[in-house]
Structure 1
């Protein structure tokens, strides 16, 4: 895996292109500590850069890779793992001469051979950019569900591409402005249906995200983006045992396929069903993981660690789970904001950040994780609205739209009227319902809600893992987002997955004989979110410090009066929890969409991280 950058202008060579790409590479140094490279086309119109985390062909697989074919110049930079590169290499070797064993070189020749259709042949997690001298254009592509990020921006005739927004922000001519549509969408998600953000936007105006399953072309006529793949919910009626057997084959294949051959790897072991399956399959492979890492927060009552310990001991894998103190978590707020290039809303993400740091310190370059299983196997059925809760209200597009619009006043209260009004939030709701509910090819309302969460929720989860992992030079791999695993998961009729008030029944059945019974029978439990009131008190103190340090301009965005109200409410609720007159759980429990919004500590925490994001990026000009 790597960090990639691109600077392209077919009207005239970008002035100082090499110097700018070097600066963009520096902004992504954390993604690739093992090497750096720059390519400039003969015309000078295209400059590509990369920072490398060496995993495949460690010795010779540096980038950018450039080749000449039939008198034309080609080059590629990729943030990718192509798991079928050996198979493709066998098909291409008779026609092309390979100089390395790199999977990225295979991808370049796949593009030369099949052109735009190369994405149909590539199997893996990827975001890449190819310069095609034969057509005088660049080609961009991203994997089917968006495991690997890719951002772009336009400055007049110049296309700027990077793995993270910070790479584009490093361009000296890029003007920083908050993107109000992305911010509205994000806060709506926090207050309504769980985290969400637009598939095609960042938190900075003018920096767009290439959507999952999309490819793009840029030449002298401009930029065009098209979707080449969409999630397909095609249920297949088969005996349950047959479904379970296929699930086991596909998941096991994906895990084994994603185990690296040349570097040490670990597993993220939460103690839940999905990460336990990944851990057990990996542990029984010829190349065992070096370690497992679990999240443990000081003062938390989350039982995940005990289940993780049970699995790790049974499989004889070292379990690394240092206790993250409340002070440690708060100290990491700015680091995670800088890793994400945006605010975030929960200390859970700080736990993930710490987990990947632990794996890095243990010498792991790759981490296998269980992310993606919930989205494709109805894992959120009892956790998120639109399934078990408020299912009737979400049975139609109009019903979902009406339900979401009950949260519009709650969103706009956070912001000054000149920055964000109800119309912007309502437009975000209309766009979400149109694209991610009505846009689902299936007609059943349950399928449509599953499609909605796959589109909206999964992107945020995959982005979070990518940034937390790559901030520590670790590549996160997600076997449950493998193409074959997704197809099998979405073929399961819902009635087979929802049994005895649990979810993912087919997956449980598929691996029952490999897992401790206690893990197989566990209901879905969220990532650890410390209920320690000491942490909540530190959140309030950190918020006070952020307010004291805030630049006056941020109050043109955030409503200062409402921020003060939220701070007062947080103090009251935390005091009640400290005194025992209220349960600490009431500060972290998911609020029901069908009821008036109740205060949660995350409602203040997201204000804290927003203030820090604004300070870091618009006052201190991080990565400029």
Structure 2
């Protein structure tokens, strides 16, 4: 994985880069200084770097031309004019997992991060300088010093964990999100969007041929997969047996990269999909490694993303990471790959929004009726109920998706806090936007968070091709109701790979989850979790409803419903905060 650290000093005569910091960076293991100027220092290591002329800048990480999967080299004058439109066009013309660091003629610096790119870009102001890095260790190497936990961001994380934010949970540390541009001048710093799904979504962009829609999705998945496996000798595919990971298996099978399938199962039937995974692997002639989760692999008091500026970790993933390490060793893989984000990108949502759009934007009433029947079948309600709610949605003033914060077990005193208000530029549709498209983009917003920073602890390079710019842009061109047919969702992608996968997998209607494993972890660690939450940092910060939590945690056996999911999330955040506050 690529790593980098950069320091910008827009006023070098008054605030030069300190010689000890220059020296520390130049001596750092596995880093090479790429640009060493009075006002800009950049060092990188561990991956692909493309220079853009003498001290003009560089692109760190894999970069591809739009619609292509072969490595690209951008023109060296991409930022020389300092014209924002040139930089905006750069994000339209290229995709990948890159951070571009550029200088313009007006004594300014630009940093662009690719949409859905896995290479992080954290930044912090230190005096008159700006430090940027791919991880916190390198941010510290550049001179950043921790000032503690940002509690408003912690509250936001507790309520809105699936909405990515530029504000991290550490004071003074920001993250440049994918599809954004940072601009630094002697006058100050600004961040603007360079990629927004609304620029390529909605009826102006919709395709009008269902067969071509399936072909388009197949091409996009193939492009993203081929780019992801570039340079790999053997891939290890995390294959659940669901449609998303199975589609990835089918795409991998066409690109000549040997791969092994890796399936994880829990003791409960809902988390055991080995039958489907075996079916896919056998169909494609790929070897399989199977493993089973065990609650004993998990330490709920420890966050395995302690070195990140956000509490990304879900404790059950400690078991996943341990078993993944073992599978990588057994298979000899130098790349791991997963289908994360596929549900979101392929619009796996039980919502009446597609019904509303089908009636308002479809070619016939029949399209609306058949979509309503599909949604009703998936939600196990009557078609009349769906039609009534769709009609009501049609008269709503705004097409915006209503994202509800998770407030269970939060203190009543924080309910009016602005941190609980969902905010993200992609959640702001134009007034003419479609309600179904707004719902789809809300799911894509959550997929952005997964693609750009997740808790899969792979010992080798990791890729998430489905949550990538080519696949997202292809999916946005499909009328939203086309994803549903005869009580099934994700129909377009099912059709796209129908000839490459077993029919029982393509037409599968059930979906596995790790819920039984998470419940097992909760039950085994109930007393530890109780102590963590009732006498921990979140409690002292006044964020928790103690009486309600105590009532639930003092019970025995499984917590009813899905409350244990929520409690595990609270415990995961508590573990991260505890790690940040240790001396």
TM-score by length of 2: 0.79
Give distance in 2, aligned partners of 1:77 and 1:491: 29
Shift of 1:283: 2.0
- Does residue 605 (structure 1) correspond to residue 580 (structure 2)? The answer is no
Give distance in 1, aligned partners of 2:355 and 2:512: 18
State the partner residue of 1:489. 475
Equivalent of residue 36 in structure 1, options 31, 50, 64: 31
Shift of 1:335: 4.9
Matches within 5 A, 1:473-488: 473-479=460-466, 481-483=468-470, 485-488=471-474
Equivalent of residue 444 in structure 1, options 434, 440, 445: 434
State the partner residue of 1:566. 549
1:392-417 per-residue CA deviation (whole Å, 9 max, x = no partner) reads 68764779798837x6585444xxx5
State the partner residue of 1:151. 122
Shift of 1:275: 1.1
Shift of 1:136: 4.1
Give distance in 2, aligned partners of 1:511 and 1:324: 30
1:283-324 per-residue CA deviation (whole Å, 9 max, x = no partner) reads 2332222x2222223456323232112211222222223222
Matches within 5 A, 1:127-146: 127-132=98-103, 136-146=107-117
1:559–1:145 CA distance, 2 compared to 1 (3 A): closer
Larger RCO (CA under 8 A, 6+ residues apart): 2
Give distance in 2, aligned partners of 1:555 and 1:356: 34
Give distance in 2, aligned partners of 1:571 and 1:160: 47
State the partner residue of 2:8. 8
Report the number of matched residues.
539
Give distance in 2, aligned partners of 1:612 and 1:182: 16
Shift of 1:359: 5.1
- Does residue 119 (structure 1) correspond to residue 87 (structure 2)? The answer is no
Residue pair 1:497, 1:505 contacting (<8 A) in 2 also: yes
Deviates more, 1:526-535 or 1:135-144: 526-535
Equivalent of residue 369 in structure 1, options 321, 332, 338: 338
Matches within 5 A, 1:328-367: 328-330=297-299, 334-338=302-306, 340-344=308-312, 346-347=314-315, 349-350=317-318, 352-354=320-322, 356-358=324-326, 360-361=328-329, 362-367=331-336
SS at match of 2:581: helix
State the partner residue of 2:22. 18
State the partner residue of 2:579. 616
Shift of 1:512: 1.1
- Does residue 286 (structure 1) correspond to residue 270 (structure 2)? The answer is no
Unaligned runs of 5+ in 2: 357-374, 380-385
Give distance in 2, aligned partners of 1:543 and 1:460: 26
Shift of 1:279: 0.7
Residue pair 1:269, 1:292 contacting (<8 A) in 2 also: yes
| Pairwise CA RMSD | 3.9
Residue pair 1:293, 1:355 contacting (<8 A) in 2 also: no
Equivalent of residue 215 in structure 2, options 229, 245, 252: 245
State the partner residue of 1:516. 502
1:423-470 per-residue CA deviation (whole Å, 9 max, x = no partner) reads 3245x24x45xx444435652212111122212x112322444x525x
Residue pair 2:180, 2:192 contacting (<8 A) in 1 also: yes
State the partner residue of 1:453. 443
Give distance in 2, aligned partners of 1:384 and 1:411: 30
Give distance in 2, aligned partners of 1:447 and 1:85: 23
1:464–1:528 CA distance, 2 compared to 1 (3 A): farther
State the partner residue of 1:594. none
Residue pair 1:153, 1:161 contacting (<8 A) in 2 also: yes
Give distance in 1, aligned partners of 2:429 and 2:335: 35
State the partner residue of 1:530. 516
State the partner residue of 1:83. 64
Shift of 1:213: 1.1
Give distance in 2, aligned partners of 1:165 and 1:475: 19
Give distance in 1, aligned partners of 2:321 and 2:285: 25
Give distance in 1, aligned partners of 2:508 and 2:58: 45
State the partner residue of 2:365. none
Unaligned runs of 5+ in 1: 27-34, 55-60, 90-102, 190-194, 578-583, 589-599
Give distance in 2, aligned partners of 1:330 and 1:180: 24
SS at match of 1:38: strand
Give distance in 1, aligned partners of 2:94 and 2:472: 13
Shift of 1:141: 0.8
1:267–1:88 CA distance, 2 compared to 1 (3 A): closer
Shift of 1:117: 5.5
- Does residue 320 (structure 1) correspond to residue 289 (structure 2)? The answer is yes
Matches within 5 A, 1:47-62: 47-52=41-46, 54=47
Deviates more, 1:509-518 or 1:318-327: 318-327
Give distance in 1, aligned partners of 2:122 and 2:35: 20
Matches within 5 A, 1:90-489: 106-107=73-74, 109=76, 111=78, 116=87, 119-120=90-91, 123-132=94-103, 136-165=107-136, 167-168=138-139, 173-189=144-160, 195-231=161-197, 232-235=200-203, 236=206, 238-261=208-231, 263-289=233-259, 291-299=260-268, 301-330=270-299, 334-338=302-306, 340-344=308-312, 346-347=314-315, 349-350=317-318, 352-354=320-322, 356-358=324-326, 360-361=328-329, 362-381=331-350, 396=396, 404=404, 411-413=410-412, 420=414, 422-426=416-420, 428-429=421-422, 431=423, 435-440=425-430, 443-455=433-445, 457-465=446-454, 467-469=455-457, 472-479=459-466, 481-483=468-470, 485-489=471-475
State the partner residue of 1:30. none
1:242-301 per-residue CA deviation (whole Å, 9 max, x = no partner) reads 322332233234323433235432222121111111112212332222x22222234563
Shift of 1:539: 3.0
Shift of 1:126: 2.4
